[in-house]
């Protein structure tokens, strides 16, 4: 097949899907809505023989450990709730706000503190929203104050999964799915809305904090033109491999990224045992190296 031929490029991209996962760049811990502790995530990364794993909890750095453990490089990150064209999008901030092998207090600039200040605002709104869910549920069902308080104190970043978890634990639903269907989904439009940071500001704060901004799990309705506009707003890369992405969607996103000069990444978006395990989806060694090279002062080793 001739070099540069579209079919050749398609075959090359398809072959790339089977390359070894070197880094899972999207995971969650109990600091937000994950079921695993950071240590467990790292242990699973080691079992998967990953070179690196990124801790990217929702709107918080609380799950980022102070050093690499078990020989797995731990990448500090965050998944920021952002706003784009009136809708909600999520942006990963990889390497944002900290040295990859040191505590958060090291390498933190004034801009990095600014990012964390904005994250604190997001988490405060999350807590207020969680309490609003509880208020609505209590209008028709009793909820134990002790259980509510215990759940609030167990995580830095509360979300709808925590509401579903509480409803299930107190016996108002027979499964988490029923909890979502009967309580969380119907109430989502009635409680106070999430706070979202404009995409351009999100990318700038991540950049100023020393990180790389990556659009997480791009929705199916986003076009190449949309992604191009996001790049103009400061986006550095897009997640091309994630649980909901089909092989054809991954190839499409990868092609767009190449056209636009954006980084490509991948991650399991692991939240616990019910979803994709750590390392099931992720970035290749080449993709991880490119992300590191785009981050000032970082290397892939």
Confidence class for position 21, pLDDT limits 50, 70, 90:
very high
Judge whether residue 181 has pLDDT over 80: yes
pLDDT, tens digit, for every residue of 207-218?
999 999 999 999
**Average pLDDT of span 181-194:** 96
Residue 135 included in any domain:
no
Return the CATH number at 53: 3.20.20.140
**Helix locations, 90-246, DSSP H:** 110-137, 145-153, 160-169, 176-179, 185-188, 199-208, 224-232
- At 100 the pLDDT is 39
Kindly report the backbone phi and psi dihedral angles of residue 157, in degrees, each rounded to the nearest multiple of 5, phi listed first: -130, 100
Residue 124 included in any domain:
no
- Calculate the alpha carbon distances from 71 to 67, 99, 131 in Å: 10, 17, 40
Residue 137 included in any domain:
no
Give kind and range of the element (H or E) at residue 84: strand 79-84
Question: 3-class DSSP state for residue 211?
Answer: coil
Q: How many domains, the chain? A: 1
- At 300 the pLDDT is 67
Distance between CA atoms of residues 236 and 63, nearest Å: 24
Residue 41 included in any domain:
yes
- At 135 the pLDDT is 97
Residue 136 included in any domain:
no
Residue 182 included in any domain:
no
Judge whether residue 166 has pLDDT over 60: yes
DSSP class of 240: E
pLDDT, tens digit, for every residue of 50-88?
999 999 999 999 998 755 567 899 999 999 999 999 999
Angle 199-208/110-137 helices, nearest 10 degrees? 130
What is the distance in angstroms between the CA of the first residue and the CA of the last residue of the chain?
A: 35
Average pLDDT, the chain: 88
Of 89, 122, 124, which is closest to residue 195 (Cα–Cα)?
122
pLDDT, tens digit, for every residue of 94-144?
999 653 333 344 344 444 558 999 999 999 999 999 999 999 999 999 998
- At 98 the pLDDT is 52
Residue-number span of the structural domain to which 229 is assigned:
6-119+195-294
Q: What's the predicted TM-score (pTM) here?
A: 0.87
DSSP class of 194: P
Cβ contact 281:267 at 8 Å: yes
Residue 190 included in any domain:
no
Residue 14 included in any domain:
yes
Confidence class for position 299, pLDDT limits 50, 70, 90:
low
Cβ contact 34:57 at 8 Å: yes
User: CB neighbours (10 Å) of residue 143?
Assistant: 16
pLDDT, tens digit, for every residue of 243-283?
999 999 999 999 999 999 999 999 999 999 988 999 999 99
Tell me how many degrees the CA angle 177-24-231 measures, rounded to the nearest 5: 95
């Amino acid at each position: 097949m001739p070099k540069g031929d579209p079919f050749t490029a398609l075959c090359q991209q398809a072959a790339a899907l089977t390359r070894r996962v070197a880094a899972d760049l999207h995971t969650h811990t109990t600091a937000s809505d994950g079921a695993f502790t950071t240590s467990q995530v790292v242990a699973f990364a080691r079992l998967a023989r990953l070179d690196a794993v990124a801790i990217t909890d929702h709107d918080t750095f609380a799950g980022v450990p102070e050093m690499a453990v078990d020989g797995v490089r731990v990448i500090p990150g965050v998944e920021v709730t952002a706003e784009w064209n009136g809708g909600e999008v999520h942006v990963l901030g990889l390497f944002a706000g900290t040295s990859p092998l040191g505590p958060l207090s090291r390498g933190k600039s004034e801009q990095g503190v600014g990012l964390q200040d904005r994250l604190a605002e997001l988490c405060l709104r999350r807590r207020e929203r969680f309490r609003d869910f509880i208020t609505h549920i209590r209008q028709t069902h009793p909820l134990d104050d002790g259980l509510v308080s215990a759940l609030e104190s167990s995580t830095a970043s509360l979300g709808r999964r925590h509401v579903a978890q509480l409803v299930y634990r107190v016996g108002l639903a027979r499964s988490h799915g029923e909890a979502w269907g009967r309580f969380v989904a119907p109430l989502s439009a009635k409680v106070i809305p999430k706070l979202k940071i404009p995409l351009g500001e999100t990318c700038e704060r991540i950049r100023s904090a020393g990180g790389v901004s990556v659009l997480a799990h791009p929705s199916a309705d986003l076009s190449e033109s949309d992604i191009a506009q996001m790049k103009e707003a400061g986006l550095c890369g897009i997640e091309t491999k994630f649980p909901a992405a089909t092989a054809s969607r991954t190839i499409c996103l990868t092609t767009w990224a190449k056209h636009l000069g954006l980084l490509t990444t991948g991650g399991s978006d692991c939240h616990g045992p019910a979803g994709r395990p750590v390392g099931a989806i992720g970035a290749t060694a080449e993709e991880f190296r490119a992300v590191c090279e785009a981050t000032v002062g970082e290397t892939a080793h």
